[in-house]
Structure 1
Amino acid sequence: MNILLTGGTGLIGSEFIRQYSREHEFTVISRDFTKAKSKLGDNVKIVENVSSIENFESFDAVINLAGEPIADKRWIDTQKKIICNSRWDITSELVSKINSCDAPPPVFLSGSAIGYYGNQGDKLVTEETPPHNEFTHELCAKWETIAQSVDQAKTRVVTLRTGVVLTEKGGALGKMALPFKLGAGGTLGSGSQYLAWIHLQDMVRAISFLLENSACSGAFNLTAPEPVTNKMFSKALAKSLNRPCLFNVPGFVMKVAMGESSTMILEGQRVIPQKLTTAGFSFDFPSIDEALSGIYRA
Structure 2
Amino acid sequence: MLLVLSLLVVQGLMGAFDNFWHHEITEALPSKPSARKELMLHTAREFIYAILFIMLGWATWHGLFGIVVMVLLLVEVGITLWDFIEEDMTRKLPPLERVLHTVLAMNYGAVLILFLPILWAWSLDESVIKGADYGILSWVMTLYGIGVFFWGMRDLYAVIKLGPLQVAEHLRDPISVGETRVSKTVLVTGGTGFIGKALVRNLLSRGENIIVLTRDIMKARDAFGFHVDVVEKLDEIPNDRQIDAIVNLAGEPVIGLPWTKTRRTRIVSSRMDTTRSLISLIARLETKPKVLVSASAVGYYGDGGECLLDESSEGQQVFMSEFCQQWEDEAQGATQHGVRVSILRLGIVIGSGGGALPSLATPVRFGLGTIMGNGKQWMPWIHILDVLGLIDFALNNSNAGDVINATAPGALRHQDFIAELGTVLHRPVLFSIPAIILKSMLGEMSGIFLEGQKVSPSRAIELGYRFQYPTLDLALKDLFPRQQNQSVRAAL
Normalising by structure 2, report the TM-score. 0.59
Matched, 1:99 2:283: yes
Unaligned 5+ segments in structure 2 are 1-183, 483-492
- What's the offset of the Cα at 1:104? 0.8
Q: Distance in 1 between matches of 2:240 and 2:391?
A: 21
**Matched position secondary structure for 1:190:** coil
Q: How far apart, CA to CA, are the structure 2 residues paired with 1:232 and 1:297?
A: 20
Q: Distance in 1 between matches of 2:254 and 2:479?
A: 23
Q: Please, what is the CA RMSD of the aligned residues?
A: 1.3
Max Rg structure: 2
- Who is 1:30 aligned against? 214
Contact residue 56 and residue 98 of structure 1 kept, 8 A? no
Superposed CA offset, 1:109-143 (max 9, x none) = 11111111111111111001122221011111010
Query: In the alignment, which residue of structure 1 is the partner of 2:195?
Result: 12
How far is 1:218 from its partner?
A: 0.3
**Partner residue, 1:3:** 186
Going from structure 1 to structure 2, the CA distance change for 1:150 and 1:277 (only over 3 Å counts) comes to: same
| C-alpha distance in structure 2 between counterparts of 1:130 and 1:144, whole Å | 13
For residues 17-50 of structure 1, the C-alpha deviation after alignment (integer angstroms, 9 at most, x for no partner) is 1122032110001121111100122111101111
After superposition, give the CA deviation of every residue in 1:86-120 in whole Å (9 maximum; x if it has no partner): 00001001112212334311111111111111111
In structure 1, the gaps of 5 or more residues are none
* Greater helix fraction, Structure 1 or Structure 2: 2
1:39 matched to 2:223? The reply is yes
Letter in 2 for 1:86: S
What's the secondary structure of 1:248's corresponding residue?
A: strand
Length, aligned pairs only: 298
Listed as ranges, the matches of 1:117-266 within 5 Å are 117-152=301-336, 154-266=338-450
Measure how far apart 1:255 and its partner are. 1.9
Partners in 1 of 2:412 and 2:254 — Cα distance?
Answer: 21
Does the CA contact (< 8 Å) of 2:239 and 2:284 recur in 1? no
User: What SS does the corresponding residue of 1:131 show, helix, strand or coil?
Assistant: coil
- CA apart distance, 1:257: 3.1
Q: 275, 291, 297: which one pairs with 1:113? A: 297
Is the 8 Å Cα contact of residues 99 and 151 (structure 1) preserved in structure 2?
no
Which has the bigger relative contact order, CA under 8 A and spacing at least 6?
A: 1
For residues 202-261 of structure 1, what are the alpha-carbon distances to aligned partners after superposition, in whole Å with 9 as ceiling and x for unaligned?
111110111010111001110001121011101101001110012211112222332221
Structure 2: how far apart are the matches of 1:58 and 1:182?
Answer: 50
Counterpart AA for 1:5 = V
2:487 equivalent in structure 1:
none
Contact residue 393 and residue 400 of structure 2 kept, 8 A: no
Q: CA deviation at 1:152?
A: 4.6
Change (3 A) 1:283 1:296: same
Structure 1 pair 88/153, CA: closer, same or farther in 2 (3 Å)?
A: closer
Find the counterpart in structure 1 of residue 100 from structure 2.
Answer: none
Alpha-carbon separation, structure 2, partners of 1:40 and 1:102: 28
Name the counterpart of 2:238. 54
- 1:62-83 CA-partner distances (Å, limit 9, x unpaired): 1110000111221111011000
Q: In structure 2, how many angstroms separate the alpha carbons of the residues matched to 1:39 and 1:133? A: 39
